[in-house]
Amino acid sequence: MAKVAFIGLGVMGYPMAGHLKVKGGHDVTVYNRTSAKAEDWVSRFGGKSAATPAAAAEGADFVFTCVGNDDDLRSVTTGKDGVFQGMKAGAVLIDNTTASAEVARELDEAATAKRCHFIDAPVSGGQAGAENGVLTVMCGGDEAVFEKARPVIDAYARMVGLMGPAGAGQLTKMMNQICIAGLVQGLAEAVHFGKKAGLDIEKVVEVISKGAAGSWQMENRHKTMNQGKYDFGFAVDWMRKDLDIVLTEARRNGAKLPVTALVDQFYAEVQAMGGKRWDTSSLLARLER
């Protein structure tokens, strides 16, 4: 059992922290900007809550963060009352936020200065993956630190991999989002085409999902897309945040991402339709308006 702090109890962090407590059996202290959420978590899972990130991190062997964006991450780590104010020497900061590779490298340097360690560890699998403890975790950092942290991360993961030095986890997550953007747009167009052609979408997907066109998106989203329901996971607002990170990094490294840039604009149209909180499969709604 390790002493663990978890900062950020959103739709992902809340169940992830729960798995660390229940499945991992760790001594968990949580912090959330809205204290009522932290109190609710404690009433459900046990453990403790703290008034600040620094207080949550005091004495912890591992400190997890799962917040909204780069600025939020800086606030709860290097900011006033951030975790680095409370972390002991040798502790490991594991960041599950989807953020930039730049901020990951910043935090790696900040951790080293505090005689701590850092791993950027963004996740994939959505809310359902977090609730079921089967997330894919893409890590960047030192190999020895990763091996130390991996058994703890395993509490909420089905796949954990070290991709390279600090920032490599975030770069891997960017590749993940590039793939998803293209897949969802392709699926949306296929469903739209099938409807226009008068085909039975369920029968078609039953067949083509077993061939080369098959994907997680097809298996898990075609039914709700066909029903015009878009309340099943990762929101359009979050996807646009992630794609902004991707496209910013691409401008820096010279990568050409024409499809990703186009799908990002399609998501902007979905936002304008009122679909900011719809899930990412709502690209179909744009085609059917």
Residues of the chain with CATH 1.10.1040.10: 171-288
Domain with CATH 3.40.50.720 in the chain: 3-165
| 139 contacts 205 by C-beta, under 8 angstroms | no
pLDDT in tens, the chain (289 residues): 999 999 999 999 999 999 999 999 999 999 999 999 999 999 999 999 999 999 999 999 999 999 999 999 999 999 999 999 999 999 999 999 999 999 999 999 999 999 999 999 999 999 999 999 999 999 999 999 999 999 999 999 999 999 999 999 999 999 999 999 999 999 999 999 999 999 999 999 999 999 999 999 999 999 999 999 999 888 999 999 999 999 999 999 999 999 999 999 999 999 999 999 999 999 999 999 9
User: What is 3-165's CATH superfamily?
Assistant: NAD(P)-binding Rossmann-like Domain (3.40.50.720)
70-77 and 101-113 helices cross at what angle (nearest 10)? Answer: 10
User: What residues are annotated to the active site?
Assistant: 173
Tell me if 29 sits within 8 A of 53, measured CB to CB.
no
CATH of domain 171-288: 1.10.1040.10
User: Does the pTM exceed 0.75?
Assistant: yes
Provide the angle, in degrees to the nearest 10, between the axes of the packed helices 258-272 and 236-253: 150
Distance between CA atoms of residues 105 and 119, nearest Å: 10
Query: Do 154 and 133 contact (CB within 8 A), yes or no?
Result: no
Candidates 135, 106, 104; CA nearest to 120 is: 104
